Structures are given as C-alpha cells and as structure tokens.
C-alpha cells in the first residue's frame, strides 16, 4: 500500500473515534451524539498523513468507560462511523472464515 502512495495507518479505538454509547456493557446502544463526536475526531484525520483504522465492536460512555456493542457490533460500528462521516460506502470484511491471503480453491 505504501508503494501505491497510501499513507500509514493510525489505529483508533471506537472510543477514540468518538463512538458514544449507553453503559450497558455487552449490548450497549450507540447514542445520537456519536455523530458529532465522530465528525470532530475522524474527519480531521481524513486526507492527512495517515489513514484512520477504527476498531469495531466497541465504544464508550460519556465518562470514558469502554463498552461493547454485542452481536454484529463491528458491522454496526462501521455503519455508524460511515454515516457520521457521510461515506459513500462501507466495506465489511468480517463475513469470511478468517483473513484471506489468496484466492480460495475453487
């Protein structure tokens, strides 16, 4: 990716990206204020020196307590971030049996 000119990645937790949730660990709900938090944390990183890579499945309460979103939380958090930054599309890479490094035998 570097040869193609893609900047290095910058890892962010869901909390660092601005995903705010209720305090129901294991099944937290994303709060509406997440949109403005995500916009203020993620949008300034776009087009800069690095590519933000945001960990799914988690967020935090307004007090900074880490929470998890429960089943399909990674897909859900990707959709939340994508909507907040007005992305044209999101790609979900979790619906495979492991990370594919080559074409599977056919």
pLDDT in tens, 9-33: 899 999 999 999 999 988 899 999 9
pLDDT at 104: 56
Res 102: pLDDT: 62
Domains and CATH numbers, the chain: 9-84 (3.40.1160.10)
What is the reported pLDDT for 63?
A: 94
Q: How confident is the model at residue 34 (pLDDT cuts 50, 70, 90)?
A: very high
In a 10 Å sphere around its CB, with 0-12 CB exposed, 13-18 middle and 19+ buried, how is residue 1 labelled? exposed
For CA atoms 68, 54, 93, 102, the dihedral sign is negative
Q: Give the pLDDT confidence of 35-75 residue by residue, as tens digits.
A: 999 999 999 999 888 889 999 899 999 999 999 998 878 88
């Amino acid at each position: 990716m570097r040869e193609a000119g893609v900047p290095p990645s910058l890892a962010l937790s869901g909390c660092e990206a601005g995903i705010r949730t209720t305090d129901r660990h294991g099944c937290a709900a994303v709060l509406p204020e997440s949109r403005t938090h995500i916009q203020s944390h993620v949008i300034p990183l776009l087009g800069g020196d690095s590519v933000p890579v945001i960990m799914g499945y988690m967020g935090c309460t307004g007090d900074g307590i880490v929470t998890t979103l429960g089943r399909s939380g990674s897909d859900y958090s990707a959709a939340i971030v994508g909507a907040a930054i007005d992305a044209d599309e999101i790609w979900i890479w979790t619906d495979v049996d492991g990370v594919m490094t080559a074409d599977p035998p056919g």
